[in-house]
Amino acid sequence: MRSKIVAGNWKMNKNLMETEALLSELSAKLPDTDAEVMVAPTFVNLGVAVRHLESSVIEVIAQNMHFAPSGAFTGEISGDMLMSIGVDTVIVGHSERRAYFGETDEILSKKVAAALEKNMRVLFCFGEELEERKSGNHFKVVEEQLKKALFTLDSKSWNQIVLAYEPVWAIGTGETASPEQAQEMHAFIRNTITQAYDSGIANKVSILYGGSVKPNNAKEIFSKPDVDGGLIGGAALVADDFAAIIKAI
């Protein structure tokens, strides 16, 4: 059975005090669940979040990391630094990193390799843009993104990969992929992995959906057989909403 996961990507939101307040409120409102629950605050508040959630089931994860182990990369954070504060899962490939910070498939493939080298878990994001869907190229685009960043991995490494399909047109727009569109793409992704590897790996990898998941649409999206959870942006910043989404799974 693959894990069900609900992860909150806080992006560049919440200062120190707001982080502590949200974590306290979330801890108090966390529903009983067999899903893994994760939050990704900003780098500066990761240490605080780890300490705050020491005795909680909520896992603290990072939004990004650099591929080099250390060195002259001003402003960057290494996998070793994350591991040293107790963060062993990292989001790689978010569309905002691709769009605003020039992260190419090649860079992402290096980041994945660096994280795996440190024995970290990678939550790998990918998804098509609106024009690509409109022109009917979305399957091709997604397949290429997977191929370039992940299909050079050996089979064993897939134990440390979680996928998050996030159509760019659905991120922060209030426009969600329909549950049918999400299921169609998730099934395609699993099939693509079966072709490249085998069905054992394809059926074991958790595939999350991200893009305007809210309390009122989460249940229907999560009910689809190939959707194993969600990567939540805006709604993860409101404890009641995030708790409701966790409940929905």
Q: Which residues of 168-189 are buried (b: 16+ CB within 10 A; e: fewer)?
A: bbbbeeeebbebebbbbbbebb
Nearest approach, Cβ of 154 to ligand 13P (angstroms)? Answer: 27
Active site residues: 94, 166
Q: Which of 88, 210, 226, 241 binds ligand 13P (CB under 6 A)?
A: 210
Q: Per rule CB under 6 A, is residue 123 in the interface with ligand 13P?
A: no
Applying CB under 6 A, among 45, 206, 212, 217 the residue interacting with ligand 13P is 212
Looking up tokens 């795996």 gives: 116
Contact call for residue 218 and ligand 13P (CB under 6 A): no
229 binds ligand 13P (CB under 6 A): no
Tell the smallest beta-carbon distance from residue 134 to ligand 13P (Å): 19
Q: Interface with ligand 13P by CB under 6 A: which range of 24-32, 103-111, 135-143, 232-240?
A: 232-240
Which token pair is 205? 């990898």
- CA–CA distance, 126 with 210 (Å, rounded to integer): 10
* Options 41, 167, 229, 233; binder of ligand 13P; rule CB under 6 A: 233
Strand partners, 36: 5
79 in contact with ligand 13P (CB under 6 A): no
Residue 95 or 109 with smaller CB distance to ligand 13P: 95
One DSSP character per residue, 64-79 reads ---SSSSSS-TT---H
Contact 206, 226 (CB under 8 A): no
Q: Which amino acid appears at position 134 of this protein?
A: K
Q: How far apart are CA 126 and CA 112, in angstroms?
A: 13
Which parts of this chain interact with ligand 13P (CB under 6 A)?
Answer: 9, 94, 166, 171-172, 210-213, 231-235
